[in-house]
Structure 1
Amino acid sequence: MTGIFAKIKRTVEAELFDIVEKKEQKNPIAMLNQYLREAQKETEKAMKLLERQQLLKKEFEREWQDAVRMQDKRLKQATLAAEAGEKQLEEFAVREAEIYKERAARLQHSVSIADEQIIKLERQTEEMKHKLKDMNVRRLELMGRENAARAHYSMSKVLDEGSGNNHPFGRFEELEQYIDELEGKASKKYETTLMDARLAELERQFYQQEKNTHQA
């Protein structure tokens, strides 16, 4: 029984810490999620084994109490048989009492061993729970680091002014330059149109004045 828990403990410690330490740079979140699922299964298995051991201890205790009760019963019967002069019954009761005595002693020893095993298994199970909790905390820490790294990377692509023509700010500058050129062209065209209009008006006034002079 203890060998099973020792194996589980080694599996949790070795696989969840040593292997993850070596490979966490590849895909830390995915790997930790996988190992956490495995660790959760192993922890649940360990808890079931602990419950089973506790049930076995209760069985030992019941058998022990039954053996003690039967030993006392046979001893009393042996006394009654002796008082009644029933030698054969007395010998049978004494022999039975001895058998129950040996059984009770063996069962008492089994109860003591079961107690020690349960204490050890409870401690190991708690250690596994703490390991699992530590791994979950570590997963959250790595998720935070990954999220921050992604955010920094995304923002750096926007804020990095030296990233070339594809940079958003670079495109804004190009657009601004293009608009300036359009505004310049429009302004020149407007000035040309305005001058043409003034010249045309001046010509009209000149011809009108000349016409009026001839009519006079």
Structure 2
Amino acid sequence: MANLLERIKNAVMADINEVLDKKENKNPLALLNQYLKECEKETEKVKELVKRQYVLKEAFTKELKEAEELAAKRKKQAEIASQAGEEELFSFAQTEQHHYEERIVRLTESLKITDKQTSELEAKYAEMKHKLKDMNIRRLELMGKENMTRASYTMNKMTDKQGNSAGTAKFDEMETYIDGLEKKITNKYYQHTIDEKIAALEKKIEEKKDETFTS
């Protein structure tokens, strides 16, 4: 049964990996964006843990200072009680002193561990921030490549560099249209110009005829 479950698990994981591979090949940028979001969330979690460690460190430091002050206070009180011959008071003050001294040892060790944990978390947080920045740069690089790929694909479609036999390429069609339009405009221009020139010549001829007739 265990072997069967293991084979089923491996088969499922293989299918999942295959789907992820296909998805990555199909749209690697979208997959990277999704992965970046997840990494940003994890980085924020570590950032919050670092903040909590500083709060703990501050709390341990406060407790340690308080224990040291109370230990010193009870020590002095024990000395005064001893000098005064107050055995019961001396015993109580000394017991309290030992209790606070034990707390000092415990808090000192806890603070030491907290300091170490804080340093480790800070290092981890810094590492994650660097990796996140690197992945963002990687995303920009992929976006640049994707833009170039799309631009090349569009240009290839328009210039028909692949020699497709589906008809005239879009650029060729546009150039033909522009050439035809230019010819039409030029013809209309010359037609308009020649009409004006002929009219001017006719007027000039008529004026010469009038001059000859009057003379």
Q: Same fold (TM over 0.5)?
A: yes
How many angstroms apart in 1 are the aligned matches of 2:174 and 2:125?
Answer: 62
1:24 aligned counterpart, secondary structure: helix
Q: 1:69 to 1:27 in 2, by over 3 A?
A: same
Q: Which residue of 1 aligns with 2:201?
A: none
Query: What percent identity do the matched residue pairs reach?
Result: 48
1:77 aligned counterpart, secondary structure: helix
2:25 aligned counterpart, secondary structure: coil
- For residues 91-139 of structure 1, what are the alpha-carbon distances to aligned partners after superposition, in whole Å with 9 as ceiling and x for unaligned? 1000110000000010001111111111111000000101111111111
For residues 73-152 of structure 1, the aligned pairs below 5 Å read: 73-152=73-152
User: Which residue identity does 1:168 align to in structure 2?
Assistant: K
Q: CA deviation at 1:163?
A: 2.2
- For residues 28-76 of structure 1, what are the alpha-carbon distances to aligned partners after superposition, in whole Å with 9 as ceiling and x for unaligned? 1111111111111111111001100110011011111111111000000
How many angstroms apart in 2 are the aligned matches of 1:58 and 1:173?
Answer: 75
Q: Tell me, yes or no, if the aligned pair for 1:157 and 1:163 is still in contact at 8 Å.
A: no
Q: Tell me, yes or no, if the aligned pair for 2:75 and 2:93 is still in contact at 8 Å.
A: yes
Q: Which residue of 1 aligns with 2:164?
A: 163
User: Which residue identity does 1:167 align to in structure 2?
Assistant: A
Larger Rg: 1
How many angstroms apart in 1 are the aligned matches of 2:43 and 2:174?
Answer: 57
Q: CA deviation at 1:160?
A: 2.5
How many angstroms apart in 1 are the aligned matches of 2:164 and 2:172?
Answer: 9
Q: Which residue of 2 aligns with 1:64?
A: 64
How many angstroms apart in 2 are the aligned matches of 1:31 and 1:110?
Answer: 43
User: Which residue identity does 2:170 align to in structure 1?
Assistant: P
CA RMSD of aligned residues (A): 2.7
Q: CA deviation at 1:172?
A: 6.3
- For residues 183-206 of structure 1, what are the alpha-carbon distances to aligned partners after superposition, in whole Å with 9 as ceiling and x for unaligned? xxxxxxxxxxxxxxxxxxxxxxxx
State the TM-score, normalizing by the size of structure 2. 0.68
User: Which residue identity does 1:63 align to in structure 2?
Assistant: E
Q: CA deviation at 1:174?
A: 7.7
Gaps of 5+ in 1: 1-17, 180-216
Q: Tell me, yes or no, if the aligned pair for 2:60 and 2:111 is still in contact at 8 Å.
A: yes
User: Which residue identity does 1:40 align to in structure 2?
Assistant: E
